[in-house]
Structure 1
Amino acid sequence: MLGPNFSDGGGGNVGRNYFRSDFNVGGGRSGSQAIMLDGAPNTTGDVSRAVISPPVDAVQEFKVQATSYDAQFGRTSGGIVNVLTKSGTNDIHGSVYDFERDSSMDASNYFATGNVPNYHRRQTGGVVGFPILRDRWFMFGDFEALRQQLPVSTLSSVPTQAQRSGDFSSTYYQAPASSAPAQVLIYDPATYNATTGRRTAFKGNIVPANRINPVALNILKSYPLPNQPGNAVTNVNNYIYTDNSVTNTNKYDFRTDLHPGQKTTIFGRFSRQTDARIVPGAMPPAIAGTVTDDHYMLRSSPSSR
């Protein structure tokens, strides 16, 4: 929390839009702020989150404007966040760092079953700045890599063994929980009456084996069986799945500053980030989960006189 005009938008994702810029400024909506890097727009076109987030050691300064900013800052109903990267100097300066976190130091998720999932986070990188031509031409660069495995547990519902075979005689729903349970009737589509608009339920609420589509049966094989009792009436929430959400990110920036005269400054910067993620779903990868591979690039080349 930076002040009364700022609040957290609730986003904590460290995957796409690395260190996600999900916050509110001056009463604006989450993601409505303009985020700039060295004066250039630094947001994605779809959800208006930060594209490049340089390492802390590569940041010279940042400024946040909540209200009453200049007309040059348009395209926002929130605030302006402008981050300036460092430049090289007449001396060689640099730093390296490595932050580690491992599951051996963590407790298990309350809902997780079995052993503690393998949680590991390693964030390592470095920066360096140096002169090419003393007092005139400088270079600065940084690199940071993130390797993270974050355990995720999801509670969901899967068909019981009886339901897999077409037996829905014990399938009930209860809404609200205080009401009496009601059976979920399975109707035979072949009995539809166009005049009455009605169908007839299967006898005993059991679908005959010869009426079950073989393609559906093959798909059903990919679904796991329940691994916990679930609700005593409805059997919902009878499956829990725990797996690791994997994030592998590499990012780097190169900046060069040229001072051809005492009153003229020219600089250029190139930034790139690659973000590969595996996001587990509610069930094993055969039927759930996503894999993404995002690439971001940002270039700036302003001059001043």
Structure 2
Amino acid sequence: NQRTFIVISKGKDIFRFSATNAMWILDPFNPIRRVAIYILVHQLFSLFIITTILVNCILMIMPTTPTVESTEVIFTGIYTFESAVKVMARGFILQPFTYLRDAWNWLDFVVIALAYVTMGIDLGNLAALRTFRVLRALKTVAIVPGLKTIVGAVIESVKNLRDVIILTMFSLSVFALMGLQIYMGVLTQKCIKQFPMDGSWGALTDENWERFVKNDSNWFGSENAYPLCGNSSGAGGCDEGYICLQGYGKNPDYGYTSFDSFGWAFLSAFRLMTQDFWENLYQQV
């Protein structure tokens, strides 16, 4: 019962549109909508957008300069024009085959919205929103029909692997829980000098003790290269005058390698499964 019509481009690509009014005012025979449809299905329009995306990606990998930043206005204007053409040709969201009924156009909408949010505004700590510009590269998937078919096939393949993925996640969770119970806090163990009894740090009180052991000048090793230690047999021991204590300083690899929480333990288990520099983690534990 859906009122639709199709347009076949010169490249033999088939485009389906809703026969209802686009934006409530543009019927299928409206000159504005007909021009928008003509532009949308034309091969040169797709080629122009793909070229724009490629140039945009090249500029994004270049050092940030005022000239490069000024081009963002141009690219945002082109992407806005592309979305406006799609909305006038298809409609916005209410009917089937409209702009936001295609999940790939959600990406377009988000990218353009973030571009306007970040444009000309001092975001301060929210400047990380600019990193979402890299999503523009994915716009090529929505433009090239062949790429969209391939990506759709990959997504369907992943859906068929859901049972395998669930089993893998469950197995990793078991090993992550084992690592959490066995190695929690182990990777923060360091060789720390024994508290001096000559009075240089005051009397042996809890306050002075904490102040002493938290001072990294009393740790064995150089800055950011403190060797791990252990108190069990077979573990790396400390030199004379040092004791092995746990819970001081960051975990190795800038804090990314640890078993102190389920999330970090899961990441470490995943790292071992994929054999991503696994021998270093093996030596650490």
- On whether the aligned pair clears a TM of 0.5, the verdict is no
TM-score by length of 1: 0.22
Q: As a proportion of its length, which structure holds more strand?
A: 1
Would you tell me which structure has more helix in proportion to its own residues? 2
